[in-house]
Amino acid sequence: MDSHDIATLESLEEHLFSAMVLEHATLPAYLTALYSIKPGTNQDASNILRVVAVEEMLHMTIAANLLNAIGGTVNLTQTGFVPSYPTYLPDSIDDFQIHIEAFTPSALETFLKIERPVYLGTVQQRVVKRRIPNHVWCLSPNKDGTTQYTTIGEFYNAIKESFIRLEAEAQAKGSTIFTGDPAFQITSEYYYSGGGKLFPVTNLDSAVQAIDLVIEQGEGYVDEDKPTGVFDQYGEIAHFYRFEQLRLGRYYVRGDKPGFPTGPAIEIDWDAVYLTVVDPKLADYPEGSELYQAALNFNIAYAQFLALLTEAYNGKRELMMRAAVPAMFDFRNLMNRLIRNPAPQQHGRHAAATFEIDATNAILGTAKA
Amino acid sequence: MNKTEFYAKLSTPANDPASLALAAIQGDGEAGTYLRGVYDQFLAFSVEVTAFSRFDLEGTGQGEAYFATVIQVVGYEILEQLLDTFTSIINQTGGESTLVRNDLLRRRLFGNERLGPIARNIVKLWFTGNWYQLPRNWSEKFGPAPKDVTFTVSANAYVEGLLWTTIGAHPAGAKAQGYGSWANPPRIPEFGSDAVVR
């Protein structure tokens, strides 16, 4: 194995935590775009954004299961879990940044880059080490921030290979890396998701299956061995191609080649969108205004939600259904209210949730090292 | 577009009132400034009579639609008269207690034969998303308004009615609260702009 640096269990844990950071980091962007669409318009785009966001939440939970399976620690209240936007992803250095912004053509291009497929190249092309400028926020699985992956799929493939190798090494010594408490595994009884398919990760088979699910739902494969990368073996369409349908203005149907959808046409009304402040910060809203207070309240509620999720991932599984899922629906309402309010002195732009969670935790005194 | 043009366009069935109102209040020049001013007054009045904050009202996304609805049904002149009356009461009672202000609002606005039913209808618009047909004696006295029938402003206006927030519920068929949430006790939010999830 030469394609990565995940040689130790500790490094694998770091990568899995990065996977959670990564899956989560897409949510503020997808949800802001989704809720910026004016109600009753752009049904196709809304549906696609909603499905993708729901599956990202599922992927984050799968990453938590993987991390818990090897006895790692899941802590979403950790400083840096929610990045400061704009942000890079592990695979995106000097390529693109993710913004919190309305549903616009440029936002759609960013989404396509986030979900771009695993193009099979040489190992050297796939995994690149670069020195990252200090001022840039970057989600990197390495503490020193030097390892970058070309696509998210590559990132997960490196994780998968590491699972296989580390478990083989452990087995050779008569042990296993799957030492985590099975009672920490979030399964379908504890989590309702349109994407479904939550199973416990307790051994190598289930770990590999879980990782493959994330890759297939996310980016799909463009691979000679798999004649169509648009739909997976279950007839589900990967995120990249879901978004590509919006770019190309047409739905994919089974049998279509990537880039050439032949299904029903999709119309997008780019004007039926609330244009929001790009990468908004609390400081963009007048201090003491209702808008400021509502944005702050959102951040507090979101910080509390991440603390709750952390508990749910650490043995209190029943909290998922009882508290975490309803909270997601509250965020929809809170984000909608912010987005419908014009932000004063922002050139006619509307407000949006700022997701400044580290700052909020610092205020609340809940930040954990 | 000035208010005459705005009103003329509102009277054309093919036009979407909410988009027209949005364009009008975002317009350039004197006309835009003027219409923005009227819309601001409309929101200020709405805050006063619904007890919801401006943030909450704008958060429904329905402000422009309701503004346009009132103008479409009863005309510009009567809305301006209502808002001017409201503004003069507010100015007059600047340093006074709420009781004094409420008393004046009751007597001079809600008790006014011509303006009262319109004021009440604006409250109902925000809470239910419906325009309710004006009382018959109003129509007999002030002349029939051709568009004055009971109607729901839009499918989304029903969803965004403040009554749902007020009772801590969600509109049937919309704004679902999440799978399994029915196992939790209902949550009545604090009144006003409380947005903290509990």
Predicted pLDDT of residue A146:
58
A38 three-class SS: coil
CA dihedral B85, B91, B96, B99 (to 10 degrees): 20
Burial class (CB in 10 A: 0-12, 13-18, 19+), B99: exposed
Give the type of residue at A243.
F
Predicted pLDDT of residue A141:
54
Residues 6 or more apart in contact with residue B103 via CB below 8 angstroms? none
The whole-angstrom separation of Cα A187 and Cα A69 is 13
b/e map of A87-111 (b: 16 or more CB within 10 Å)?
bbbbbbbeebbbbbbbbbeebbebb
Burial class (CB in 10 A: 0-12, 13-18, 19+), A356: buried
CA angle (A19 as vertex; A137, A216 as ends), nearest 5 = 125
Predicted pLDDT of residue B196:
41
Record the tokens describing residue B80, joined without a space: 């301006």
CA atoms A25, A28, A34, A37: torsion sign: negative
Name every chain B residue with its beta carbon within 8 A of the beta carbon of A40: 154-156
Residues 6 or more apart in contact with residue A44 via CB below 8 angstroms? A245, A246, A251, A266, A267, A268
Q: Where are the alpha helices (DSSP H) in B110-152?
A: 116-128, 136-142
Predicted pLDDT of residue A147:
63
Residues 6 or more apart in contact with residue B111 via CB below 8 angstroms? none
Tell me the shortest Cα–Cα distance from A302 to chain B, in angstroms: 9
DSSP secondary structure string for all residues of A271-286 = TSB--B-SS--GGGS-
Tell me the shortest Cα–Cα distance from B143 to chain A, in angstroms: 35
Name every chain B residue with its beta carbon within 8 A of the beta carbon of A325: 178-181
Tell me the shortest Cα–Cα distance from B82 to chain A, in angstroms: 25
In chain A the first and final C-alpha atoms are separated, in Å, by: 33
Q: What share of chain B is helix, strand, coil (3-state, %, to 5)?
A: 60, 0, 35
CA angle (B127 as vertex; B75, A41 as ends), nearest 5 = 80
Predicted pLDDT of residue B47:
96
A254-290 per-position pLDDT tens digit: 888 888 999 999 999 999 999 999 999 999 999 999 9
Backbone angles phi, psi at A294, to 5 degrees: -65, -40
DSSP secondary structure string for all residues of A125-162 = HHEEE-PPPTTS-B--SSTTS-EEESSHHHHHHHHHHH
The architecture that CATH gives domain A9-275 is Up-down Bundle (1.20)
Tell me the shortest Cα–Cα distance from B19 to chain A, in angstroms: 10
Q: Contact A340/B61, CB-based, under 8 Å?
A: yes
The whole-angstrom separation of Cα A62 and Cα B30 is 57
Residues 6 or more apart in contact with residue A13 via CB below 8 angstroms? A67, A70, A72, A73
Burial class (CB in 10 A: 0-12, 13-18, 19+), A159: buried
Predicted pLDDT of residue A188:
86
- Name the closest residue on chain A to residue B62, using Cα atoms: A340
The whole-angstrom separation of Cα A161 and Cα B146 is 73
Give the type of residue at B97.
S
Predicted pLDDT of residue B167:
83
Tell me the shortest Cα–Cα distance from A297 to chain B, in angstroms: 5
Beta strands in chain B (DSSP E): 130-131, 151-152
The whole-angstrom separation of Cα A132 and Cα A74 is 26
ipTM value, please give it. 0.86
Predicted pLDDT of residue B2:
84
Cβ atoms of A16 and A75 closer than 8 Å:
no
The whole-angstrom separation of Cα A228 and Cα A173 is 41
- The partner residue sitting opposite A321, judged by closest CB among B55, B180, B194, is B180
For an interface test with A, the pick among B20, B47, B53, B55 (most A C-beta atoms closer than 10 Å) comes out as B55
A-side interface with B, Cβ within 8 Å? 38-40, 192, 289-291, 293-294, 297-298, 300-301, 304-305, 321-322, 325-334, 336-338, 340-342, 348
Cβ atoms of A109 and A39 closer than 8 Å:
no
Low-confidence stretches of chain A (pLDDT < 70) are: 1-5, 90-94, 118-148, 150, 192-196, 219-229, 233, 366-369
Cβ atoms of A326 and B176 closer than 8 Å:
no
The whole-angstrom separation of Cα B65 and Cα B56 is 15
For tokens 């030492």, the residue is A179
- A and B: number of Cβ contacts within 8 A: 76
- The partner residue sitting opposite B177, judged by closest CB among A192, A304, A326, is A326
Determine the number of helices (DSSP H) and then strands (DSSP E) in chain B: 11, 2
Domain ranges for chain A, please list them: 9-275
What Cα–Cα distance (Å) separates residue A185 from each residue in A199, A202, A319, B169, B170? 8, 9, 13, 33, 32
Backbone angles phi, psi at A260, to 5 degrees: -130, 70
Low-confidence stretches of chain B (pLDDT < 50) are: 192-198
Determine the number of helices (DSSP H) and then strands (DSSP E) in chain A: 11, 4
Say if strands B151-152 and B130-131 run parallel, antiparallel, or are unpaired.
antiparallel
